[in-house]
């Protein structure tokens, strides 16, 4: 089969690799589409090696069709040849085929294309993990999502809205604010014109302190936002793109039972990931099928143009997911 490989100079090539050998608990998936993630860029730069046992090539989420089912996978699950599935991988999605453990597979939701389904596993699982398992989001909560034009936010915001939250998000320009209008966030803050700290202070005064926040930025502003959370609020750190250091008033944290939580999906055990995927299908798939929650697709390119596709992420121009199609 073929896969996208990384050359010594960090350029990419579509080249031959050994065919996968199906394990007892695996299903072999013929890949129709694979979505890009920032972790792919990190792996390309040598900063994010795949977990042990995963292929060397990039790709964390795919959609396709099962073409072979391992003996134990057939005994432990209902998967069969011909099923349309999407999957969360440790790596190896930029290819024609992938071996996937049976409990890392999810059915393609009704009314979803393969391109849409490929854009869902990583982002939707991350959104579900942090909104509901870590964040314990409830209907009526006020929720803050930083970086509202990011691929993750394109999933998190409509998911939070579908479950009854009031959503505040941030962007860096009026153009980005317009580009995410379809996500229906209640408050969109252009932080080049308005201080998010002042906005949160105003929201608190109006009776809407933040109950749950998902923060991929961190930096100095993070510590300044914490006084404007509700009692018992959860602030979930998933990255630190704006800086790894901030100043926090610890008394403000313990007096009001505020929880600061570090969270990544990739670091979870396979068993935990399987539980997240099962809960995601049970709780969210019906909202996907009804159209309440949908992935935002920014660009679709053939897998032979993976390098051009990754350049879109390097430039930060995408609002939503970039997806590769596989012939």
Distance CA 170, CA 184 (A): 13
Q: What is each CA distance from 213 to 129, 153, 259, in whole angstroms?
A: 13, 12, 10
Q: Which residues contact 267 (CB under 8 A, 6 or more apart)?
A: none
Question: In the chain, where do the E strands start and end?
Answer: 2-6, 12-16, 26-35, 61-69, 84-88, 97-101, 105-107, 142-145, 166-171, 187-190, 210-215, 229-237, 259-262, 297-302, 321-325
DSSP helix/strand/coil, 74 = helix
Kindly tell me if the per-residue pLDDT of 12 is higher than 90: yes
In this prediction the pTM is 0.92
Q: Which residues contact 5 (CB under 8 A, 6 or more apart)?
A: 12, 13, 14, 15, 17, 56, 57
- Rounded to a whole number of angstroms, the CA Rg of the chain reads 20
Start-end ranges of CATH 3.90.180.10 in the chain? 2-120+295-325, 124-262
Q: What is each CA distance from 186 to 50, 203, 267, 285, 322, in whole angstroms?
A: 38, 12, 32, 24, 26
What pLDDT, on the 0 to 100 scale, is given for residue 48? Answer: 84
- Average pLDDT over every residue of 125-144: 98
Task: Pull the structure tokens for residue 167.
Answer: 């959503």
**Residue 64 DSSP label:** E
Which residue, 92, 59, 120, 117, is CA-closest to 309? 59
- Average pLDDT over every residue of 240-251: 94
Kindly tell me if the per-residue pLDDT of 322 is higher than 90: yes
Residue 198 host element (H or E): helix 196-205
Asked if 268 and 291 touch (Cβ cutoff 8 Å), the reply is no
In this predicted model, what pLDDT tens digit does every residue of 72-120 receive, in sequence order?
999 999 999 999 999 999 899 999 999 999 999 999 999 999 999 999 9
**Fold observed for domain 124-262:** Quinone Oxidoreductase; Chain A, domain 1 (3.90.180)
Mean pLDDT of the chain: 95
- 282, 136, 162, 187: CA torsion to nearest 10: -160
Kindly tell me if the per-residue pLDDT of 318 is higher than 90: no
- Average pLDDT over every residue of 273-293: 96
In this predicted model, what pLDDT tens digit does every residue of 14-73 receive, in sequence order?
999 999 999 999 999 999 999 999 889 999 999 888 888 899 999 999 999 999 999 999
**Fold observed for domain 2-120+295-325:** Quinone Oxidoreductase; Chain A, domain 1 (3.90.180)
What pLDDT, on the 0 to 100 scale, is given for residue 38? Answer: 87
Percent over 70 (pLDDT), the chain:
100
């Amino acid at each position: 089969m073929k896969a996208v490989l990384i050359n010594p100079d960090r350029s990419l090539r579509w080249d031959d690799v050994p065919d996968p050998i199906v394990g007892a608990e695996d299903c072999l998936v013929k890949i129709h589409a694979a979505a890009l993630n920032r972790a792919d860029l990190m792996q390309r730069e040598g900063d994010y090696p795949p977990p042990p046992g995963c292929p060397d090539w990039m790709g964390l989420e795919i959609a396709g069709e099962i073409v072979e089912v391992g003996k134990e996978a057939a005994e432990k699950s209902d998967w069969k040849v011909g099923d349309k599935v999407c999957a969360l991988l440790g790596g190896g999605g930029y290819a024609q085929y992938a071996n996937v453990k049976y409990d890392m597979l999810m059915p393609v939701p009704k009314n979803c294309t393969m391109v849409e389904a490929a854009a869902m596993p990583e982002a939707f699982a991350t959104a579900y993990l942090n909104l509901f398992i870590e964040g314990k989001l409830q209907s009526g909560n006020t929720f803050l999502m930083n970086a509202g034009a990011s691929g993750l936010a394109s999933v998190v915001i409509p998911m939070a809205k579908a479950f009854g939250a009031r959503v505040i998000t941030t962007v860096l320009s009026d153009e980005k604010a317009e580009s995410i209008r379809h996500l229906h966030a209640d408050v969109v803050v252009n932080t080049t014109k308005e201080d998010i700290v002042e906005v949160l202070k105003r929201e608190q005064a109006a009776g809407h302190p933040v109950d749950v926040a998902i923060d991929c930025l961190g930096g100095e502003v993070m510590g300044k936002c914490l006084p404007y959370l509700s009692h018992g609020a959860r602030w979930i750190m998933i990255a630190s793109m704006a800086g790894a250091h901030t100043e926090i008033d610890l008394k403000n944290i313990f007096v009001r039972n505020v929880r600061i939580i570090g969270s990544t999906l990739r670091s979870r055990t396979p068993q935990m990931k399987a539980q997240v995927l099962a809960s995601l299908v049970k709780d969210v798939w019906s909202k996907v099928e009804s159209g309440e929650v949908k992935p935002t697709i920014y660009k679709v390119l053939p897998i032979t143009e993976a390098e051009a596709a990754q350049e879109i992420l390097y430039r930060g121009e995408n609002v939503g997911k970039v997806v590769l199609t596989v012939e």
